[in-house]
Amino acid sequence: MTDVVLSISGLCKSYDDVVAVDELDFEISKGQCFGLLGPNGAGKSTTLGMLEGMEEPTSGSVRYFGKPFPADYQDRVGIQFQATALQDFLSPFDNLKLFSSFYDDPIPMDRLIDQFRLNDFLHRDARRLSGGQRQRLLLALALVHNPEIVFLDEPTTGLDPRSRRDLWDVVSQLKADGRTLILTTHYMEEAEVLCDELLILSHGKTLLQGAPKKLIKEAGVSDLDTLFLSLTGEPLVKTQEVIE
Ligand SMILES: Nc1ncnc2c1ncn2[C@@H]1O[C@H](COP(=O)(O)OP(=O)(O)OP(=O)(O)O)[C@@H](O)[C@H]1O
Ligand SMILES: [Mg+2]
């Protein structure tokens, strides 16, 4: 039997006239890489915000091992912030030092520097990092306090194919460490490679849930892109921006 870390039931979030998340029910097991997949505006980030304990649901609940969030929940989760969270005038080294200073028992910096291969640009101005380098630094910063659950909101959007694969390797390592990973993505290929379980969202609702291979097999399609297109009549990714 697997341990359920997060159980989500009847989860809804509305903003004025927008229903961003509409009655979601799912569970996330310990050690799983769980993916939220869907086009722009599907409700992925809003859902993530509620699982992180950063946003209050309008109705429904998120329970941690069957209970409301404990007082120290924020210490148990690591959130890969967007690039704006970086202290731009600091180098990756100084950013790491700053984040480490927030915690009593941080992971030794050397370990993070090795694991995320920050050495080549450790003392560079953070404004001069490439997209892939920045994402690796942001991931290292999310892990400083050795969290059980790691949240990644579109970790590879805007990266070129090589940097994307490079980040996949890093995410796979986190999975091998036994952490629970929850990520959002627009990319079906990424979901197929990284995720054990997928929730495909459209307009705040669940379209499908299951293991990527199982979803593909049951639908009798060649890949998840084709599946999404067949379900919604629209492609998942309309444009692909590359910033690097
Ligand atoms: N703070 C907010 N105030 C009002 N509406 C919001 C707010 N945050 C999100 N929304 C709306 O909720 C819906 C879901 O947004 P959300 O950011 O969760 O989508 P997403 O799946 O993460 O999209 P993307 O792929 O573009 O990041 C959208 O219609 C969005 O405009
Ligand atoms: Mg989003």
Q: What is the reported pLDDT for 242?
A: 41
Q: What is the reported pLDDT for 237?
A: 61
232 lines ligand 1 (CB under 6 A): no
Q: What is the reported pLDDT for 244?
A: 37
Top mutation candidate among 12, 15, 157 for ligand 1, by most atoms within 8 Å of CB: 15
pLDDT of 32 over the 90 cut: yes
Q: What is the pTM of this model?
A: 0.91
The ligand 1 atom at the shortest distance from the C-alpha of residue 47 is 18
Top mutation candidate among 11, 36, 45 for ligand 1, by most atoms within 8 Å of CB: 45
Residues around ligand 2, an ion, CB closer than 5 A: 44-45
Q: What angle do CA 23, 240, 115 make, to 5 degrees?
A: 85
The separation between CA 168 and the C-alpha centre of its own chain, rounded to angstroms, equals 12
pLDDT of 85 over the 70 cut: no
Q: Any bridge partners for residue 202, and if so which?
A: 205
Q: What is the reported pLDDT for 2?
A: 66
Per-residue pLDDT tens over the stretch 128-168: 888 889 889 999 999 999 999 999 999 988 788 888 888 89
What average pLDDT does the segment 70-99 reach?
87
Which architecture, in CATH terms, is 4-232? 3-Layer(aba) Sandwich (3.40)
H or E element: which one contains 35? strand 33-37
Q: What angle do CA 221, 44, 156 make, to 5 degrees?
A: 75
pLDDT of 196 over the 90 cut: yes
15 lines ligand 1 (CB under 6 A): yes
Spacing, Cα 44 to ligand 2 middle (Å): 5
Smallest CA-to-CA distance from 146 within 119, 114, 123, 180 is with 180
The ligand 1 atom at the shortest distance from the C-alpha of residue 201 is 21
Alpha-carbon distance of 78 to 118, in angstroms, equals 19
By alpha-carbon position, which residue is closest to atom 18 of ligand 1?
A: 43
pLDDT of 200 over the 90 cut: yes
Mean pLDDT (the chain) is 89
Spacing, Cα 105 to ligand 2 middle (Å): 31
